[in-house]
């Protein structure tokens, strides 16, 4: 099963491009979830929400719609493992787990998290604390791309997050690998000029993929789907709705059925 969507959905600059011009922010998820099969929730990296937040999200989306939730920063960026962060995070997503709506957890580590014995132990600690909740690891540093890493992830039953990003030194290469039953690809865009040097965070993700750039991922994604139970594809080039545009484009290239998109800036919410 292949699921496709975007990294986040609640963006004001999507109004008039993906959402109707006058949409209420409270109705964005309802609208979004009728266009895509899943969403990646990134706000949990900054703050762990109440379980009721996820209950509300599930009520605003179809019963087969999947949520992927990013791990809180204290779970991936702190010097030492923070048990309280893991417990709070797991309690937060429990309603999604119970309803079978959780795709997986995304644990994104910083570029400074390099391939060392100490950091390998941190991955083992993460697995011990997250337990049986399906989790995918996103490395930012290419130092992790080796057979030892893949063996460790398979041993721990942790997924590998494949990424598409600029071909800059030290960044992850564009490889597709399955190390668990969950396949995962994040498309960050290829804005090499503003990747390291930018005034606003959104500038890094201001990029629109061409069909030719996405074409190389078609056989890779199909290969992942053959090796896994579920494969998730998320576009993170979110500026001005480019991620939604590319997600729909790529879905067509993969022959994934999606509802017909209404014209930009229009469309009935059907509420």
The string of pLDDT tens digits covering residues 15-67 is 999 999 999 999 999 999 999 999 999 999 999 999 999 999 999 999 999 99
Looking at residue 262, its pLDDT comes to 65
Q: Percent of the chain scored above 70 by pLDDT?
A: 96
Record the tokens describing residue 114, joined without a space: 């390099």
> Which homologous superfamily does the CATH classification assign to the domain defined by 2-253?
Protein of unknown function UPF0759 (3.20.20.410)
Using alpha carbons, select from 210, 151, 225, 221 the residue that is nearest to residue 185: 221
Q: What is the pLDDT of residues 155-195, one digit of tens each?
A: 999 999 999 998 888 889 999 999 999 999 999 999 988 78
Is pLDDT above 50 for 215? yes
Using alpha carbons, select from 132, 115, 116 the residue that is nearest to residue 180: 132
Q: Is-contact 195 167, C-beta < 8 A?
A: no
Using alpha carbons, select from 138, 62, 60 the residue that is nearest to residue 100: 62
Looking at residue 71, its pLDDT comes to 98
Handedness of CA 33, 38, 40, 43 (dihedral sign): positive
**φ and ψ at 7, to 5 degrees?**
-85, 100
Q: Percent of the chain scored above 90 by pLDDT?
A: 85
Task: Compute CA distances 229 → 35, 146, 156, whole Å.
Answer: 22, 24, 17
Interval 77-93 mean pLDDT:
92
Between these two residues, 111 and 198, which has the higher pLDDT value? 111
Q: Is-contact 64 106, C-beta < 8 A?
A: no
Q: Is-contact 9 234, C-beta < 8 A?
A: no
Quote the pTM value.
0.93
Q: Is-contact 31 262, C-beta < 8 A?
A: no
Average pLDDT, the chain: 93
Confidence of residue 11 (pLDDT cuts 50, 70, 90): very high
* Contacts by residues 154-160 (CB-CB < 8 Å, ≥ 24 positions apart): 154/179, 154/180, 156/123, 156/124, 156/127, 157/127, 158/123, 158/126, 158/127, 159/104, 159/134, 159/135, 159/183, 159/184, 160/136, 160/184
**φ and ψ at 31, to 5 degrees?**
-65, -50
The rounded radius of gyration (Å) of the Cα atoms in the chain is 18
């Amino acid at each position: 099963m292949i699921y496709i969507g975007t990294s986040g959905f609640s963006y004001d600059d999507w109004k008039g491009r993906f959402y109707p011009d006058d949409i209420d922010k409270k109705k964005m998820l309802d609208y979004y979830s009728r266009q895509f099969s899943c969403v990646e929730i990134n706000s949990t990296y900054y703050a762990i929400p109440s379980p009721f937040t996820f209950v509300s999200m599930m009520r605003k989306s179809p019963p087969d719609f999947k949520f992927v939730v990013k791990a809180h920063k204290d779970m991936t960026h702190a010097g030492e493992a923070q048990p309280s962060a893991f417990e709070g995070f797991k309690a937060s997503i429990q309603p999604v787990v119970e309803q079978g709506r959780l795709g997986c957890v995304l644990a994104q580590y910083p570029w400074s998290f390099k391939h060392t014995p100490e950091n390998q132990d941190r991955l083992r600690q993460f697995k011990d604390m997250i337990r049986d909740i399906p989790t995918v690891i996103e490395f930012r540093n290419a130092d992790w791309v080796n057979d030892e890493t893949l063996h460790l992830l398979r041993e721990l039953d942790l997924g590998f997050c494949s990424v598409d990003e600029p071909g800059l030194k030290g960044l992850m290469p564009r490889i597709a690998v399955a190390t668990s039953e969950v396949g995962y690809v994040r498309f960050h865009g290829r804005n090499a000029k503003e990747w390291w040097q930018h005034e606003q965070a959104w500038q890094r993700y201001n990029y629109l993929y061409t069909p030719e750039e996405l074409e190389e991922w078609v056989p890779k994604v199909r290969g992942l789907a053959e090796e896994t139970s579920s494969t998730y594809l998320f576009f993170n080039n979110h500026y001005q709705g480019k991620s939604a545009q590319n997600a729909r484009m790529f879905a067509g290239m993969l022959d994934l059925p999606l509802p017909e998109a209404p014209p930009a800036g229009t469309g009935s919410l059907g509420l």
